[in-house]
A = this chain, B = another copy of it.
Amino acid sequence: MTPSGVSNDMQAEIITIGDEILIGQIIDTNSAWMAQQLNAIGIQVKQISSVADYPADIIVALTLASGRADIVFVTGGLGPTKDDVTKQTLSVYFECGLRRDPKVLAHVESIFQRSNRPMLEINRKQADVLDSSEVLFNERGTAPGMWVTHKEKPYIIMPGVPFEMKHIMVDRVLPRLRNLPGTQPLWHHTMLTAGIGESFLAEKIADIEAALPPHIHLAYLPKPGLVRLRLTAMGESLAALKSETQAIANQLAERIGEHFLADEDTSLEVLIRDFMQRRELLLATAESCTGGNIARLITTLPGSSSIFEGGAVTYSNAMKRELLGVKQKTLTEYGAVSEETAREMALGAQTNFNVDYAIAVTGIAGPDGGTTEKPVGLVWIAVAGKNEVVSRKFLFGHDRAINIERSSVAALFMLWQLLNLEWKANDTDRTAI
């Protein structure tokens, strides 16, 4: 048995080295990314361990991991100020020496020349690699990756800087792993739902879940406002796994109905971008309590400029009046956090920024600023569309960060619903639009 409740032949472990993680100064985002990549090629991650850059801890972690896994990934501990300990320790574990690699050294030197910085001895040392390793050349940084085969087991050692690690994985490691023996087909089918809680979803689909065959497993992956459903299947034939999970996904989609957003692992932002791009629709945002977070979520996506005209972050009433044309009378009579203000913000953005759709959010994110009538967590959201303006009140909690996140997701979901209401019927008839 394995994480997904299905079995495979090839199991990996990830060891991250460095006190930054143990002291809580950085969050380990590398392991999740690596796990996704490995899963996609049928290698399951059995365990992730974070240890300090202290020789004995590193050696114990390597020993335990190599006893449990078929392949071991090590990240971190290779930066210029700390690679001494890690590399020395690895050379003890792998019973080999260190050599200075001329190709890596030339690369490190060229990086320093290009940026006109003088090169220091600690930078030169970056070119020292394990004698018994094959270098995984790092084009994006000074610390090379290393592939060591020790007692017939592969160990992949990479720097901890995320974009350097990702480059080495994508360009050097994954292509080789795909050819390793023992990678049995594993298939994930992920679906996106919104506006329904995890337990209700579970109850709604309990009989479908109970009837799953033993080689297919269902997981619930909740986030604020959204729940992802993931089917994991393992077997001999990838084609069979794909068609089996698709059939179950169809059953789930039908059962879940309007809360079923997508039959793939995607996000609301991506769905919206693609939907609006296809119809050449333009979007703008008018944000108060979300402070630019909705604009950020959209513009994080490549290609968002084709649908996103821009937005206003109107924290003050003056900005609401001037950029969005909210009436002073509305602000005085109903307040900045009100249905009326939200609707005027949305309409103002739609008109002033000359777009097809506009999202507006106004609320009290907290932790201060609440009253009995308008408590922290109260949020009004309005979306202006082709034919109407829809508005809705939400009452979230007390945590500022979570309120911002939930408001953003709720606003994007309202936009998604309105887009579907106003366009889906015409979906097959583009010329009529």
Contacts from A to B (Cβ < 8 Å): 1-5, 19-29, 31-37, 39, 44-54, 56-57, 61, 64, 79-82, 117, 120, 122-123, 140, 163, 188, 197-200, 202-203, 219-223, 228, 230, 232, 285, 287, 290-296, 298-300, 302-305, 308-316, 318-319, 322-323, 352-354, 366-369, 397, 399-402, 404
Contact = CB atoms under 8 A, between A and B. Distances in A.
A45 B212 CA distance: 40
A70 B314 CA distance: 51
B36 A2 contact: no
Given A64-B64, A311-B312, 12 more contacts: A3-B53, A24-B31, A28-B32, A46-B52, A49-B50, A163-B402, A291-B308, A292-B294, A292-B311, A300-B400, A300-B404, A309-B318
Contacts of A163: 397, 399, 402
B35 A22 contact: yes
A301 to B, nearest CB: 9
A364 to B, nearest CB: 11
A86 B198 CA distance: 18
B52 A2 contact: yes
A198 B22 contact: no
B32 A31 contact: no
B45 A22 contact: yes
Given A312-B310, A313-B292, A24 B3 contact: no
A105 to B, nearest CB: 15
A396 to B, nearest CB: 11
Contact of A50 (B26, B31, B140): B31
Given A3-B52, A22-B47, A299 B310 contact: no
User: Which of A202, A228, A366 has the largest count of B CB atoms less than 10 A from its CB?
Assistant: A202
Contact of A49 (B4, B47, B223): B47
Given A28-B31, A295-B292, A296-B292, A23 B48 contact: no
Nearest to A288: B310
A399 to B, nearest CB: 6
A229 to B, nearest CB: 11
Contacts of A220: 79, 81-82
Contacts of A401: 300
A318 B402 contact: no
Contacts of A318: 309, 354
Contacts of A2: 52, 54
B20 A48 contact: no
A402 to B, nearest CB: 6
Nearest to A68: B60
Nearest to A80: B199
